[in-house]
Amino acid sequence: MKQYQGIGVSAGIAIGKVFVLHSGESFNLPKRTVGPEQISNEIARFEDALTRTRNEILTIRRKLSSQIGRESSDIFTAHLLILEDRTLIEDVIEVIKNEKAGAEYAFATVIQRYFQAFSQINDEYLKERISDIRDVGKRLLGNLCGEEKKRLEEFEGKVIIASHDLSPSDTASLDRTKVLGFVTEIGGPTSHTAILGRSLEIPAIVGMDKIVGELQDNDTIIVDGTHGIVVINPDQATIDKFNSQGSRFNQLTGELDKLRDLPAETLDGKRITLAANIEFHHETASVISHGGNGVGLYRTEYFYMNRTTLPTEEEQYDAYRKVAEAMRPNTVVIRTLDLGGDKFASTLEIPHEMNPYLGWRAIRFCLTRTDIFKTQLRAILRASVHGDLKIMYPMVASVYEVRAAKVVLDEAKAELEKEGVPFNKEIHVGVMIEIPSAALASDVLAKEVDFFSLGTNDLIQYVLAIDRMNEKIAYLYEPTHPAIVRLIDMTIRNGHGHHIWVGSCGEMSSDPAIAILLVGLGIDEISASPVALPKIKKAIRSIRYVDAQAIAQRALALHTGPEIYAFLKAKLKDVCAELADE
Ligand code: PEP
Ligand code: MG
């Protein structure tokens, strides 16, 4: 029995058999042993992956050579030569045969041998070939591992997935009826993979370094998503201990669910709108069952993932209409496409960038690809007659982006008007405050929009210069850093100064201690994962607004993130010990 610590991102306990899903991102794979009768199948899988990889590279080379000339496409010729290397192919087949190994392990082992050999050669040109081998190797491994999902489908019963990484699109396509929980080696608390774990309502842990190498398919593991603990092959006493912890968790969840139909109101009568963040239209059922008063953030980019064509206006209209109708008379804030960062769509050729979080993404992408943007705006406008829909733009850094977006929105409105299609002419438009410049100049932005929503996941990463995906620096990702608390305070004051409402839809507001701070700072709406709503409501219903205000003022005067957090936790304990102890 062994125990490991990672970052718990979706609460609850899962106990079950593990399924090791290889992501193709790392060449450090654990060995999968196969029976003698499966050897020819593994060789065939490898050869099939070679052919698919070769075809992919030929397509890219053809495209590049017509777009930017032959020279730049030469690199892919080098990749093809590596794939055709007989020695490499034979070496892999030999490892499969001699070591009775799965194809991906055999290929990764041989590739690593090549790295070693090349790095010892004293020739700059040959050394540079290492990066070609790595590139083409990853592509081939990706193709081999792509089949892993098929293997998962064939796996008997429910499993806990362990993987080096699960991309947001991989996570979005997980089948909830098969997956009890997951654990990954990389990723931070607000990575979209973590967020999806919460929306799937399964226990999940990220940032658990080197866990995959410790696991074999069918090992029994415990995933404690509340505390970030994994236990491999636990004894019966440990299983019993975690089972009773799981029952306590379910009991608290059951207690909190009783608050479902009560308002999110402080003891002295200040009401906060408690809305939910969703990624898929069918999640409205979960929003309602957890007592949400609307949708404060609908992340529409998942529409564009795991598919080969762009979503049509009709298809989007259909989903937006369903959400509007399900939540009526409550409000639904639809965020326009926020691709980029850790979220990519296979249909859109967004080039690989050095700094994708600072790159061509979200509103920046939409303002260049106005065709895609306008299709989405038309769909939202058409759906706006079926409920209370609002539009929100992500990653706004400057006022002129809002103005440019308005031009496209006005065009969409004019088109619909001409076509005689009904829509809400007064539809409200807001922006996410998630880039430091937007928070610092929120007085200027407030004049141009109807509302703000604080996107603290990104705001924290940009203000503190902490990659929200990186588990190694996750300890520096401090939602209560004085700089963050001050920026939130400033944004709320600027919004209110211009008579617009201010919400918060980042993950930090899921923490009841922080929810108290936001209430005290004057937030009008809190939006969080549906599962987090009951405990936020409980915290709000446990405190007086005047006390929350005093707490917020005191927090603003403190000097460090940990100090502020400890102070908030202590205050939460005073008013609701069961939440503070969780
Ligand atoms: C945020 O940045 O806080 C946010 C809510 O948006 P996302 O997590 O999708 O970037
Ligand atoms: Mg964001």
Q: What is the mean pLDDT of residues 472-488?
A: 95
pLDDT of residue 127: 65
Domain annotation covers residue 184: yes
Cα 509 to middle of ligand 1, angstroms: 12
Q: Hunting for tokens 């019963």 — which residue is that?
A: 157
Atom 9 of ligand 1 has which residue's CA nearest to it?
299
Please state the separation of Cα 548 from the chain's center in Å. Answer: 31
pLDDT digits (tens, 9 = 90+) for 528-544: 999 999 999 999 999 99
Q: Which residue has the higher pLDDT, 68 or 458?
A: 458
Decide: 457 in ligand 1 pocket, CB within 6 A.
yes
pLDDT surpasses 60 at 71? no
pLDDT of residue 453: 98
Indicate if 315 and 460 belong to the same structural domain. Answer: yes
pLDDT digits (tens, 9 = 90+) for 188-199: 888 888 888 888
Q: What is the mean pLDDT of residues 427-439?
A: 98
Is 505 labeled as catalytic in the residue annotation? yes
pLDDT of residue 141: 86
Q: What percent of the chain has pLDDT over 70?
A: 93
Residue 32 has phi, psi (to 5 degrees) of: -110, 115
Q: What strands lie across the sheet with 159-163, from one edge to the other? A: 2-5, 229-232, 220-224, 13-21, 159-163, 179-184, 204-206, 7-10
pLDDT of residue 100: 92
Integer CA distances (angstroms), 158 to 177, 182, 222, 452, in order: 7, 12, 13, 42
Question: Does residue 99 contact residue 89 with C-beta atoms inside 8 Å?
Answer: no
pLDDT surpasses 70 at 39? yes
3-state secondary structure of 320: helix
Decide: 283 in ligand 1 pocket, CB within 6 A.
no
Atom 6 of ligand 1 has which residue's CA nearest to it?
455
Indicate if 356 and 464 belong to the same structural domain. Answer: yes
Least confident of 33-42, 268-277, 510-519: 33-42
pLDDT of residue 148: 64
Question: Does residue 328 contact residue 386 with C-beta atoms inside 8 Å?
Answer: yes
Domain annotation covers residue 349: yes
DSSP 336: P
pLDDT of residue 369: 94
184 is in which domain, residue-wise? 152-247
Decide: 189 in ligand 1 pocket, CB within 6 A.
no
pLDDT of residue 189: 86
Indicate if 199 and 286 belong to the same structural domain. Answer: no
Cα 200 to middle of ligand 1, angstroms: 17
Domain annotation covers residue 57: yes
Decide: 297 in ligand 1 pocket, CB within 6 A.
yes
Indicate if 435 and 555 belong to the same structural domain. Answer: yes
Question: Does residue 347 contact residue 309 with C-beta atoms inside 8 Å?
Answer: yes
Atom 4 of ligand 1 has which residue's CA nearest to it?
455
pTM score? 0.81
Contacts of 565 (CB under 8 A, 6+ apart): 478, 479, 480, 513, 514
pLDDT of residue 296: 98
Least confident of 31-35, 95-99, 124-128, 282-286: 124-128
Range of 7-21, 27-41, 302-316, 511-525 with top mean pLDDT: 511-525
pLDDT of residue 341: 78
Q: Which residue has the higher pLDDT, 228 or 118?
A: 228
Copy the structure tokens of residue 44.
Answer: 């065939």
Q: How confident is the model at residue 305 (pLDDT cuts 50, 70, 90)?
A: confident
CATH number for the domain harbouring residue 240: 3.50.30.10
pLDDT surpasses 80 at 16? yes
Domain annotation covers residue 442: yes
pLDDT surpasses 60 at 239? yes
H helical segments located in 328-464: 362-368, 370-383, 399-419, 436-440, 442-446, 456-464
Q: What is the mean pLDDT of residues 347-351?
A: 68
Cα 468 to middle of ligand 2, angstroms: 10
Indicate if 135 and 264 belong to the same structural domain. Answer: no
Q: What is the mean pLDDT of residues 35-51?
A: 90
Residue 221 has phi, psi (to 5 degrees) of: -135, 160
Indicate if 472 and 560 belong to the same structural domain. Answer: yes
CATH number for the domain harbouring residue 50: 1.10.274.10
DSSP 19-60: EEE--SS-S-----B--GGGHHHHHHHHHHHHHHHHHHHHHH
CATH number for the domain harbouring residue 359: 3.20.20.60
Contacts of 54 (CB under 8 A, 6+ apart): 80, 83, 84
Q: Give the ligand with the smallest distance to the CA of 279.
A: 1
pLDDT of residue 55: 86
Decide: 299 in ligand 1 pocket, CB within 6 A.
yes
Cα–Cα dist 81/77, whole Å: 6
Indicate if 210 and 81 belong to the same structural domain. Answer: no
| Residue where one domain finishes, among candidates 193, 215, 247 | 247
What total number of domains does the chain contain?
3
pLDDT of residue 147: 63
Question: Does residue 311 contact residue 348 with C-beta atoms inside 8 Å?
Answer: no
pLDDT surpasses 70 at 68? no
Residue 38 has phi, psi (to 5 degrees) of: -95, -5
Cα–Cα dist 126/119, whole Å: 9
H helical segments located in 433-558: 436-440, 442-446, 456-464, 482-497, 512-521, 533-541, 545-557
Q: Which residue has the higher pLDDT, 533 or 114?
A: 533
Residue 309 has phi, psi (to 5 degrees) of: -130, 160
pLDDT surpasses 80 at 457? yes
Compute the half-sphere exposure of residue 207: CA atoms within 13 Å on the CB side of its CA.
Answer: 23
pLDDT digits (tens, 9 = 90+) for 241-264: 999 999 988 888 888 989 999 999
Indicate if 130 and 235 belong to the same structural domain. Answer: no
Domain annotation covers residue 14: no
Atom 7 of ligand 1 has which residue's CA nearest to it?
457
Q: Do you know the residue count of the chain?
A: 582
Angle at 21 between CA 16 and CA 24, to 5 degrees: 165
pLDDT of residue 73: 64
Query: Which residue out of 145, 366, 505, 576 is catalytically annotated?
Result: 505
Domain annotation covers residue 5: no
pLDDT surpasses 90 at 172? no
Q: How confident is the model at residue 327 (pLDDT cuts 50, 70, 90)?
A: very high
Compute the half-sphere exposure of residue 42: CA atoms within 13 Å on the CB side of its CA.
Answer: 25
| End-to-end C-alpha distance for the chain, whole angstroms | 26
Least confident of 11-20, 46-55, 254-263, 339-348: 339-348
| Residue where one domain finishes, among candidates 88, 111, 145 | 145
Is 352 labeled as catalytic in the residue annotation? no
pLDDT surpasses 70 at 411? yes
pLDDT surpasses 70 at 150? no
Indicate if 217 and 83 belong to the same structural domain. Answer: no
pLDDT of residue 134: 79
Q: What percent of the chain has pLDDT over 90?
A: 63
Which numbered atom of ligand 1 lies nearest the CA of 195?
8
Decide: 575 in ligand 1 pocket, CB within 6 A.
no
Average pLDDT, the chain: 90
Residue 204 has phi, psi (to 5 degrees) of: -150, 145
Question: Does residue 230 contact residue 39 with C-beta atoms inside 8 Å?
Answer: no
pLDDT of residue 225: 95
Domain annotation covers residue 253: no
Cα–Cα dist 553/557, whole Å: 7
pLDDT surpasses 60 at 201? yes
Indicate if 485 and 401 belong to the same structural domain. Answer: yes
pLDDT of residue 128: 66
Cα 189 to middle of ligand 2, angstroms: 13
Decide: 458 in ligand 1 pocket, CB within 6 A.
yes
Indicate if 237 and 301 belong to the same structural domain. Answer: no
Indicate if 467 and 337 belong to the same structural domain. Answer: yes
pLDDT of residue 81: 84
Contacts of 101 (CB under 8 A, 6+ apart): 31, 32, 33, 34, 42, 95, 109
pLDDT of residue 153: 67
pLDDT surpasses 70 at 204? yes
pLDDT surpasses 60 at 72? no
pLDDT of residue 66: 67
3-state secondary structure of 4: strand
pLDDT surpasses 60 at 138? yes
| Residue where one domain finishes, among candidates 83, 118, 145 | 145
pLDDT of residue 10: 94
Cα–Cα dist 164/71, whole Å: 35
Q: Give the ligand with the smallest distance to the CA of 191.
A: 1
pLDDT of residue 342: 77
pLDDT of residue 125: 67
Domain annotation covers residue 503: yes
pLDDT surpasses 70 at 302? yes
